[in-house]
């Protein structure tokens, strides 16, 4: 690329005259220039000549430049034109005189949290506008955040970073390092980038503007890139209330990170809570540039007043100087020769230095009377004595009328700009037209406070005097910012509350019993995940109280139901039966004796219930009764819970044999047959 000095004075594409260098980088030189066709000051960015031979870059450059030129937002630098000059690609941009954030920081100045929040909100609005139109910047850094003369921030170089990324040339290490200082973790890892990539870089930029240091910077480019993967933004006391907002904007995982619109909302909300920011100490780039002359593209003979003569040869048109008519002696004045000597000498000197008379076409030459001789005054007629006075009166009236007309036109052609902020656009447009002003929509923005279709801001502001029909630009509200309800499935109440808050929604929690969801876990939300909502909308989130409590049936005691019947009844109530057996002489075998907890009590759903099932009477061993008397045998069997039956002659009194035999295990209540002798 030619040196910057050699480029000054060059005219690009027969239209843009380069006036002075205002910046230079690894891939481009930036010049202040005049657009000779439209008569305005612009900035021309000449890219590196090596890019001219890169077909991939040129194709992508044209596509990205066309898309960037379609952006029209107060916080996005306007792209007026693009093309190539002798194969060198160039961009024609809006010219700004406030310098860049990089140039401001390079002076050693730092921003307050309020100032950083203010410019961050403007940058986020510009990014959100571009993101809605599918354009991701990819290279947000202080050098690409520019200011106009009033301190308004504009984002520059939309689309250029993506085109350069696919170019065949390699930028120097310093340029790579400069971009790496603000790269997002997904850029480092080679993952697909989206709009949240720009938010991460903006967060690091704002962090630097307040603290004076860029987080995660290592000794090498690789160390710088890898330091931010999975890392949390370092705490800095200087950030003050700005710290939590930047922390959300610099989360390593993109899906958990704020988007640009959400960041703008958070920063504007923060500004409402803080003192107004001080004006920015702009590092202005005012240059001693020549003013743009009128008719810059006209033919030189027209520009300098040369007109064609009758012979075809250009000749300078003469303009006769305004000459005062010769001084006539006042009627009745004393003769010159009677004047004092000093006055005579003065008149003679003035006469000797007077300019020669100029002869104008169609004007009779007036020859003054010789010096020292008084001209014969015309004889005044009495009947025409009023004529001079009449002429004086007429001239004064005409002058007064012209002054009144001029003043009234100044008043009539100017109008006081009314306040239209807060009005519906149709109403605001009608109010402005009634004042002789021209309404124009300069953009749309999401607003948490203004309903859709209402005016958020106006320029010029109300109360100013503007010449009719001046344009009054208005920014119209699109209503609250759209957002999406995240999936709350399987989240605890606290996790769901945080997720809803990050989506800028308001959660209202309620509880209900659930047979399938554990206690404390989200059962449902008002709408399925992904449903489009708007900032501030209320989301109904239902939290599980666990299974509904159950009452243990009263039939599960005293041998009313079998164990199988009890199991079925408890399972239908979403309770879990656990069977155990006990000997019982009162409840038949296989029937329910009781439950634990007891029948009739309230227990949590899905809890366990121990069911006590009768195992029948217990077992005892039949004793040996041989040769025992009848009384002894009956006493022994009765103590064991056994029954008995006697067989034998009437006189028999001793046990001869027994059934079951001694040593046999039988249930309590079994009858033992005794044979007596």
Backbone angles phi and psi of 151, in degrees to 5: 90, 5
Query: How does DSSP assign 345-398, residue by residue?
Result: HHHHHHHHHSPPP-PPTT----PPPPTT----PPPPPGGGTTHHHHHHHHHHHH
Find the distance separating the first CA and the last CA of the chain, reported in whole Å.
139
Pairing between β-strand 619-621 and β-strand 665-667 as defined by DSSP bridges: antiparallel
Determine the Cα angle at 39 with ends 37 and 45, to 5°. Answer: 80
Give the three-class secondary structure for 444.
strand
Residue 332: Cβ within 10 Å count: 6
3-state helix/strand/coil string of 568-603: HHHHHCCCEEEEEEECCCCCCCCEEEEEECCCCCEE
**CA 492, 493, 498, 501 torsion: positive or negative?**
positive
Helices (H), 54-191: 55-69, 101-106, 113-132, 160-165, 173-180, 185-188
* 139 is an active site residue: yes
Q: Is the dihedral of CA 619, 624, 630, 633 positive or negative?
A: negative
Task: For residue 24, count other CB atoms closer than 10 A to its CB.
Answer: 14
Catalytic residue selected from 35, 54, 139, 195:
139
Nearby residues of 153 by Cβ (< 8 Å), 6 or more positions away: 75, 101, 119, 122, 123, 126, 145, 146, 147
Structure tokens, 8: 């000054």
Contact 162, 138 (CB under 8 A): yes
Q: Which residues contact 27 (CB under 8 A, 6 or more apart)?
A: 47, 48, 51, 164, 171, 175
Q: What is the spatial distance between Cα 484 and Cα 489, in angstroms, rounded to a whole number?
A: 15
Residue 279: name the closest of 149, 144, 146, 457 by CA.
149
Residue 497's contacts (CB-CB under 8 Å, 6 or more residues apart) are: 507, 509
What's the Cα-to-Cα distance from 128 to each of 117, 138, 199, 444, 496, rounded to whole Å? 16, 13, 9, 11, 26
Question: Residue 434 CB: number of other CB atoms within 10 A?
Answer: 10
Order of all β-strands in the sheet with 538-544: 506-512, 538-544, 522-525
CA distance 415 to 466: 5
Among residues 281, 279, 391, 371, the alpha carbon closest in space to that of 327 is found at 371
Question: What is the distance between the alpha carbons of residues 564 and 552, in angstroms, rounded to a whole number?
Answer: 16
Q: How far is CA 348 from the centre of its chain?
A: 84
Question: What residues have CB less than 8 Å from 335, skipping those under 6 apart?
Answer: 374
Task: Scan for tokens 């945080």, then name that residue.
Answer: 498
CB-side exposure of 491: number of CA atoms within 13 Å?
Answer: 16
CA distances to 230, 569, 610 from 576, rounded to whole Å, are: 46, 10, 8
Catalogue the active-site residues: 139
């Amino acid at each position: 690329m030619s040196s910057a000095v050699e480029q000054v004075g060059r005219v690009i594409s027969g239209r843009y005259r380069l006036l002075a260098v205002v910046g230079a980088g690894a891939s481009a030189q930036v010049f202040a220039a005049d657009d000779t066709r439209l008569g305005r000051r612009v900035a021309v960015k000449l890219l590196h000549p090596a890019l001219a031979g890169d077909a991939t870059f040129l194709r992508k450059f044209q596509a990205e430049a066309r898309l960037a030129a379609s952006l029209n937002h107060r916080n996005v630098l306007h792209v007026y034109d693009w093309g190539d000059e002798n194969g060198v690609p160039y961009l024609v941009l809006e010219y700004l005189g406030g310098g860049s954030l990089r140039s401001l920081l390079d002076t050693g100045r730092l921003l307050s949290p309020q100032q950083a929040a203010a410019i961050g909100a403007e940058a986020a609005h510009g990014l959100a506008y571009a993101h809605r139109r599918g354009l991701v910047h990819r290279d947000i850094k202080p050098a690409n955040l520019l200011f106009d003369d009033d301190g308004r921030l504009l984002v520059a170089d939309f689309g250029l970073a993506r085109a350069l990324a696919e170019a065949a040339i390699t930028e120097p290490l310093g340029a790579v390092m400069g971009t790496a200082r603000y790269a997002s973790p997904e850029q480092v890892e080679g993952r697909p980038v989206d709009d949240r990539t720009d938010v991460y870089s903006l967060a690091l930029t704002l962090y630097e503007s307040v603290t004076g240091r860029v987080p995660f910077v290592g000794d090498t480019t690789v160390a710088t890139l890898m330091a931010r993967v999975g890392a949390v933004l370092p705490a800095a006391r200087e950030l003050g209330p700005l710290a939590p907002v930047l922390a959300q904007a610099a989360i390593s995982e993109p899906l958990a990170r704020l988007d640009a619109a959400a960041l703008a909302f958070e920063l504007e909300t923060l500004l409402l809570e803080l003192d107004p920011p001080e004006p920015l100490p702009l590092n202005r780039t005012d240059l001693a540039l020549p003013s743009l002359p009128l008719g810059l593209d006209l033919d030189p003979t027209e520009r300098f007043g040369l007109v064609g003569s009758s012979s075809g040869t250009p000749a300078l048109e003469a303009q006769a100087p305004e000459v005062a008519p010769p001084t006539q002696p006042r009627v009745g004045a004393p003769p010159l020769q009677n004047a004092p000597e000093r006055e005579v000498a003065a008149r003679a000197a003035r006469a000797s230095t007077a300019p020669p008379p100029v002869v104008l076409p169609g004007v009779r030459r007036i020859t003054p009377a010789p010096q020292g001789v008084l001209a014969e005054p015309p004889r005044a007629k009495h009947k025409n004595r009023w004529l001079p006075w009449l002429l004086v009166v007429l001239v004064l009236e005409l002058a007064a009328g012209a002054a009144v007309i001029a003043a009234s036109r100044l008043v009539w052609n100017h109008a006081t700009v009314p306040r239209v902020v807060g009005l519906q656009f149709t109403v605001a447009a009608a109010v402005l037209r009634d004042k002789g002003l021209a309404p124009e929509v300069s953009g749309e923005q999401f607003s948490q406070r203004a309903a859709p279709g209402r005016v958020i801001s106006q320029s010029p502001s109300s109360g100013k005097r503007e010449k009719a029909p001046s344009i009054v630009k208005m920014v119209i509200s699109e209503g609250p910012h759209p957002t999406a309800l995240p999936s709350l499935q399987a989240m605890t109440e606290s996790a769901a509350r945080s997720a809803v808050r990050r989506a800028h929604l308001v959660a209202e929690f309620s509880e209900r019993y659930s047979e399938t969801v554990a206690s404390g876990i989200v059962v449902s939300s008002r709408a399925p995940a992904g449903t489009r909502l708007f900032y501030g909308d209320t989301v109904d989130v239902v939290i599980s109280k666990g299974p509904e409590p159950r009452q243990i049936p009263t039939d599960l005691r005293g041998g009313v139901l079998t164990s199988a019947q009890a199991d079925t009844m408890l399972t239908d109530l979403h309770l879990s039966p656990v069977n155990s057996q006990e000997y019982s002489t009162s409840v038949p075998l296989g029937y329910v004796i009781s439950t634990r907890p007891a029948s009739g009590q309230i227990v949590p759903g899905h809890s366990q219930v121990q069911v006590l099932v009768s195992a029948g009477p217990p077992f005892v061993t039949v004793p040996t009764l041989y040769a025992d008397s009848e009384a002894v045998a009956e006493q022994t069997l009765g103590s064991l819970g056994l029954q008995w039956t006697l067989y034998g002659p009437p006189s028999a009194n001793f046990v001869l044999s027994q059934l079951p035999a001694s040593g046999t295990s039988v249930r309590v209540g079994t009858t033992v047959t005794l044979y007596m002798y």
